[in-house]
Amino acid sequence: MTTVLLAVATKVDVGVFAAAAVIVLSGAIGVVLSANPVHAALSLVLTLFGVAVLFVAQGADFLAAVQVIVYAGAIVVLFLFVIMLIGVDRAEDVRHEPLRGQRPMAVILGLVALAEILLLSRGSDWATGARSVAGTSSGPGTNVEKLAESIFTRYLFAFEITSVLLVIAVVGAVTLVRKPPPVPRHEEADDDDTAAPAALASVADRDAG
């Protein structure tokens, strides 16, 4: 860790981090524990705002703005739209546990994973010391300028491919959600239409008889 910032953290930094950490964690726990999906979505907004604050605290101004606009603005609104559209805004019975013992196992597994992450990150070296090709995040210029220079030069092809990805996502979403088109009026289709009521009628006759 050659480039850890050696500047002393002020009380304001500690306070901002503590407040944001409390917001992030309480929002995350709210997502997991709220029985109503609408409350879960609102808790998710809380977490996303907390993460945006942590982005600002680390100098990632552009990403914080995008986080608030795209995530807390667009994605959560999309979630709420779907919740209202399919009408699952009623509370789920959280206590019902179809698979016995799965929840304690999940919590234990999560705690083990957390302990592993923390232990491994304490004992391992994060950086090799080699400079990357993306550019520095400190130095003159604003965060937006440096991020834009990185994305539009070094990662230009990846950026262009994201546009393809977005088009595919839009087409896929429309295809998935669209209602199936009505049966075209061919001769076969007409035959089917006339055959279906007859079949139904015969079934009804048989049931009645």
What residues numbered 165-184 form the site for another protein, per CB under 8 A? 165-166, 168-170, 172-174, 176-177
Both tokens of 118, joined, read: 């923390």
The verdict on 160 binding another protein (CB under 8 A) reads no
Min dist. Cβ of residue 68 to another protein (A): 11
Interacting stretch for another protein, rule CB under 8 A, among 135-143, 186-194, 197-205?
135-143
One symbol per residue from 186 to 205: x for binding another protein (CB under 8 A), - otherwise; what is it?
A: --------------------
Q: Do residues 94 and 103 make contact, with C-beta atoms less than 8 angstroms apart?
A: no
Residues 41-80 touching another protein, rule: CB under 8 A, are: 41, 44, 47-48, 51, 54-55, 57-60, 62-63, 66-67, 70-71, 74-75, 78-79
DSSP structural state of residue 2 = T
Q: Which is nearer to another protein, 121 or 184 (CB)?
A: 121
- What are the helix and strand counts (H, E) for the chain? 8, 0
139 burial via Cβ count (<10 Å: 0-12, 13-18, 19+): exposed
Backbone dihedral angles phi then psi of residue 12, each to the nearest 5 degrees? -65, -45
Among 109, 183, 199, 204, binds another protein (CB under 8 A): 109
d(CA 151, CA 133) in angstroms, rounded, equals 12
